[in-house]
Amino acid sequence: HQRPTEENREETNGEEFPLTLLQSLVKKPKPRRHRCSDCGKSFVRNAELQRHMLIHTGQRPFGCSVCGRGFRVVYQLHSHMRTHTGEKSCFCQVCNKGFGTKSLLKEHMRVHTGHKPFRCPVCNRGFTQRGNVRAHIRTHTGEKPFSCPVCQRSFTQKNHLQGHMIIHTGERPHKCSFCEKTFIRQNHLKTHLRNHTGERPYSCPFCNRGFTTKALLTPHMRIHTGDRPFRCSECDKGFIQRSHLKAHEKTHKESLKPYSCSQCGKAFGRKAHLGRHMIVHRAETRHKCSVCERDFKLMTRLREHMRTHTGEKPFVCPVCGKSFAQISTLSRHQKHIHHMCPVCKGSFQNITELNQHLKTHLDDGTLDQSLLERKSIKPCRCSLCGKECRNKSNLQRHMFVHTGEKPFSCSVCEEGFVCKFEVNQHLRFAHHICPVCKEEFERDADLTDHLRTHVDDGSLDPELIERVNRKPYSCSMCGKEFNCKTAFRRHILVHSGERPFSCPICEKTFTQKGTLKTHQRIHSGDRPFSCSVCDKSFVTNSHLKTHLRTHAEAAVFSDRP
């Protein structure tokens, strides 16, 4: 063999190699003979060209047997199938989280490295994925291309629309294995599970406090940094969270106080507050009961009320012997229960027979036409749905179903109701408040015992107790009984899964409007129930009561020797 000379040898890492040998090891580029007729791009193999042509034709020959989605190349289909099977072949070396494809693992690694290669051209905010930038840019342009076909609400991202659609279907497919609570989205379930496991993956670098979500950590960090990005347009006051700003802005709106008292001119931010204030003026001119100190505008009403204390019921039904405290109640009873003629006191099977009979009094001259029209019972028919009501007041109450009006509101939580009886039922079962003396109780059973004391002292009719304890509404699914229709309808939502009240900030849904109002205090920071001992405040009255027991227990132990 010929020894390598100075001219034809290379020295690499102290070793000598013939130059011809090195040149033979270098791969020569293969000729690209297969050219695309559409874009001019060339390829080494015909198979590569054929695969490229699918971009122009739009063909996706490899279809998923589960969801029908198409792919241009078979390896993309294999990667996609892992989303259905749950197979995870690629694992993160830092946190051991598994992924179906290498590209997903690569994107995930940016969470650990902090690398955000995709930037918004408007605000320069960085993102780990290109798709996230596209979705973010829509917040600047205002574009919302994904629209709900049911309610026309639009969204910036397709997955947001898909999550929203479940609200209409009522589907909550993701169930917690610990408490069986269901969720619309899988990420909501994942966050919820941390409450059971105690996992707090997001920790504050200043105080090491842990959080279940990044969304909770972000506003907490502003406490340390002093950043208050949400500013009031009225007074320029800054806030850590947008929800705190929204709650603050309401104070400016309420400062307008559009509801003013016609007697003293005092203004109020809410109509319900004005209504409570008007009681002060009404009390100045009313007639007060000497037994229970309840006041009345008219002396005749006071006399009728006094019969509830004395138990006097001077008006007796001649048909069934039932007695009544008021003559108007007796007349109503005779007309609607016994279908009694007000002229000759004869009883009939139904309203139609009574009305036909009244015409005979018109013929014999004992009743004139105008009196006949007044005495006849006219079934009150709803012009919207055709429902017949017993009397005009019942029809007026029924009309609230169509108008949505709720003229009676709870003095505690301001929830609206169609009639006063429903308010009293709500006060009793939701707040355990006595409708007579407004005393509050811990349990419903305690309130029931208390109501009997009002029967004993004559301030409450025994019939009202029977009416309150009666449960005419029964659930066909579980057999549970209810006193009022509102509570019954609310219970039905438990079976149907419907949660009609949605939080505008976090989209969490609730079966009751009152529960939603309590939840919104988490966002607004409003804690209206304050401890009189230590000034600590709470979101709900029940939390305050639980807290007050700690002071009571502390006092007991401190008194011990």
Alpha-carbon distance of 396 to 393, in angstroms, equals 5
So what's the pLDDT on residue 110? 83
Element spanning 389, H or E: strand 388-389
Alpha-carbon distance of 507 to 516, in angstroms, equals 11
DSSP string, 230-298: EE-TTT--EESSHHHHHHHHHHHHHTT--EE-TTT--EESSHHHHHHHHHHHHHHTPEEPTTT--EESS
- 3-state DSSP call for residue 502? strand
- 3-state DSSP call for residue 195? helix
How many residues are listed for the chain in this entry? 561
So what's the pLDDT on residue 232? 84
CA 451, 453, 457, 458 torsion-angle sign: positive
307-313: long-range contacts (C-beta < 8 A, 24 or more apart)? 308/458, 308/459, 308/460, 308/461, 309/457, 309/458, 309/459, 310/458, 311/458
CA 160, 162, 165, 167 torsion-angle sign: negative
Alpha-carbon distance of 387 to 401, in angstroms, equals 12
Statement: the pTM of the whole predicted model exceeds 0.85: no
The residues facing 210 across adjacent strands are 203
Are 499 and 484 contacting, i.e. CB atoms less than 8 angstroms apart? no
Alpha-carbon distance of 185 to 219, in angstroms, equals 23
Alpha-carbon distance of 556 to 554, in angstroms, equals 5
So what's the pLDDT on residue 57? 85
For residue 400, what are its two tokens? 């609230």
Alpha-carbon distance of 426 to 416, in angstroms, equals 10
The residues facing 388 across adjacent strands are 381
The residues facing 9 across adjacent strands are 18
- 3-state DSSP call for residue 116? coil
Helix boundaries (H) for 181-238: 186-197, 214-225
So what's the pLDDT on residue 138? 83
For residue 249, what are its two tokens? 């802005």
Element spanning 368, H or E: none
Q: Which of 281, 260, 284 is nearest to 270 (CA)?
A: 260
So what's the pLDDT on residue 6? 46
Per residue, what are the HEC states of 305-346? HHHHHHCCCCEECCCCCCEECCHHHHHHHHHHCCCECCCCCC
Alpha-carbon distance of 236 to 230, in angstroms, equals 9
Q: Which of 448, 480, 478, 476 is nearest to 464 (CA)?
A: 448
Alpha-carbon distance of 337 to 353, in angstroms, equals 13
- 3-state DSSP call for residue 199? coil
Burial class (CB in 10 A: 0-12, 13-18, 19+), 424: buried
So what's the pLDDT on residue 265? 74
Element spanning 302, H or E: helix 299-310
Single-letter amino acid, residue 203: S
CA angle 523, 524, 527 (to 5 degrees): 110
The torsion defined by the Cα of 459, 464, 469 and 472, in degrees rounded to 10, comes to: -170
pLDDT in tens, the chain (561 residues): 444 444 444 444 445 556 666 555 555 677 888 888 888 888 888 888 888 888 888 888 888 888 888 888 887 888 788 777 777 778 888 888 888 778 888 888 888 888 888 888 888 888 888 888 888 888 888 888 888 888 888 888 887 887 788 777 777 788 888 777 888 778 888 888 887 777 888 888 888 888 888 888 888 888 888 888 888 887 888 888 887 888 777 766 655 677 778 777 777 767 777 777 776 665 455 677 877 777 776 677 777 778 777 878 877 777 677 787 777 777 777 766 666 776 676 766 666 677 777 777 666 655 555 545 544 555 567 777 777 666 677 777 777 777 777 778 777 777 777 777 777 777 766 777 777 777 777 666 677 767 767 766 666 655 555 555 556 667 777 777 776 666 777 777 777 777 778 888 887 888 777 788 888 888 888 888 888 888 788 888 778 877 877 776 665 445 545
What φ, ψ does residue 42 adopt, rounded to 5°? -115, 155
Single-letter amino acid, residue 306: M
Look-up: residue for tokens 């006949």?
372
So what's the pLDDT on residue 366? 57
User: Dmax of the chain from CA atoms?
Assistant: 149
Q: Which of 396, 414, 403, 412 is nearest to 271 (CA)?
A: 414
339 C-beta neighbours (distance < 10 Å), count: 20
Burial class (CB in 10 A: 0-12, 13-18, 19+), 418: buried
So what's the pLDDT on residue 388? 66
The residues facing 17 across adjacent strands are 10
How many helices (H) does the chain have, and how many strands (E)? 21, 34
